[in-house]
Amino acid sequence: MLNTLKHHRDVIDDCLDDAGKDTETIIRELYFKRHQQYTMDGLIANELIHVSRTQAFRLRDKFIQLVAEGLYIYDLSDVS
């Protein structure tokens, strides 16, 4: 059980290390904070990320896909 949790943490850490600053800001704010302060639109409006709304969602989706693949959950690119 502990090895599984360590593996999950390592996969997420590796994906964050490979992500850009905007992706890291999105993931940390929307998923890691206990009390989320911003929505995706709030991150953009407050210039905490410097991409369009569409690109922000693409960055989020790509990160989630990489984590899912790293955890051998499934390949999200096959989902329509």
Is the pLDDT reported for residue 79 higher than 60? no
CB 74 within 8 A of CB 68: yes
Alpha helices (runs of H) in 19-71, residue ranges in sequence order: 21-27, 40-45, 53-70
Name the pLDDT band for 75 (thresholds 50, 70, 90).
low
Task: Scan for tokens 């999105």, then name that residue.
Answer: 26
pLDDT in tens, 34-71: 999 999 999 999 999 999 999 999 999 999 999 999 99
Closest CA to 50 of 24, 77, 80: 24
CA atoms lying within 13 Å on the CB side of residue 53:
5
Name the pLDDT band for 78 (thresholds 50, 70, 90).
low
pLDDT of residue 73: 87
pLDDT of residue 74: 72
> Which residues form the domain of 26?
2-78
CA atoms lying within 13 Å on the CB side of residue 38:
15
pLDDT in tens, 7-35: 999 999 999 999 999 999 999 999 999 99
Instruction: Give the number of domains in the chain.
Output: 1
